[in-house]
Amino acid sequence: MLIFHRRLPTFEYARPKDEAELFSILSGQARALVFAGGTDIIPRLKKRLIEPPSVLVDLKGLPHMGEITSDRDTLRIGATATIHRVCTSDLVRRSVPILSEAASTIGSIQVRNRGTVVGNVCSAVPSADSAPALLVLDAKLLLKSKGGERSVALDEFFLGPQRTCLRQGEIVKEIQIPLMDGAKGTYIKLTQRARLDLAIVGVAVLLHMTDGRFRFVRIGIGACAPTPIRARRAEELLAGQRPEPKLIDEASRLASEETSPIDDHRASEVYRRLMVEALVRRALTRLIGG
């Protein structure tokens, strides 16, 4: 193990070579902190925004943890799969292009080359760009600890800003996305200036149409509530209906009403609500027209 000083607080560093070593460390250290890319955790440690760990555990040494695979029903994204790899994966682009689109908006190329989609989810910030897309894809997380595994739906994983249901000694091993035929989606991100800025509003829409009617519509919204959310009432309004302009307008307004944004230095509550309505309308119109 190495010891870090400098600007970072002092802690031990471990890079386990297999899961047995990983869970041995986690079960023996009450203040162990797991990371994969470190693009969120390291800056927060430098700024003393989180309690320094006794040991910082790097998952990147674990074999097969960075794989992106699929079978007939499910796409699986491992904990150390980088954001760039998800953006450029032919498998992701072919089966769930909305996730590739959303991931491509996360930070800079340097962040995408180092950071992971699982890490973006585990940061549990309301503005995480991958979260709205994963919500509309009905993604689940496979959580693993020394005691076993459990599966958690993404909308149950988030408990609040930077709070998740992860237990001590538990990691997110992979993201599991059910595959479906015929659905199409898009992610639209509103920022202050540059594309790499944090989202002021992020909207993901996934829909499936049959015989000119919505078989289903799923609407995910980021940066407008304590956690990323689904606009369930708007989804219910659209289900089974024809895509008439008045219905689209009503659903967009309803989606905006389901949010609970804050005022901060990046945008006001009122502006965020207006932009949710505008972006949901834009996303629905784009998908219907496409």
Chain segment 103-113, per-residue pLDDT in tens: 999 999 999 99
State residue 30's pLDDT score.
83
The secondary structure element, H or E, covering residue 274 is helix 269-289
Question: What is the mean pLDDT, run by run of 10 residues, along the chain of 290 residues?
Answer: 61 95 92 93 88 94 96 96 98 97 95 97 96 98 97 97 96 97 97 81 98 98 98 98 98 98 94 98 94
Q: Which pLDDT value is given to residue 14?
A: 96
pLDDT of residue 35: 95
pLDDT at 247: 98
CA 4 to chain CA mean position, Å: 30
- Give one DSSP letter per residue of 18-41, joined into a string: SHHHHHHHHHH-TTEEEESS-TTH
**Which pLDDT belongs to residue 5?**
47
Domain ranges for the chain: 2-60, 68-178, 186-289
The fold adopted by the segment(s) 2-60 is: 3.30.43
CATH hierarchy code of domain 68-178? 3.30.465.10
What is the 3-class SS of 127-152, one letter each residue? Answer: CCCHHHHHHHCCCEEEEEECCEEEEE
Q: What does residue 156 show for φ and ψ, rounded to 5 degrees?
A: -95, -15
Q: CATH number for the 186-289 domain, one of 3.30.390.50, 3.50.50.60, 3.40.630.10, 3.40.50.970?
A: 3.30.390.50
Which among 131, 133, 108, 153 is positioned nearest to 283, based on CA atoms? 133
**126 exposed, middle or buried (CB, 10 Å; 0-12, 13-18, 19+)?**
buried
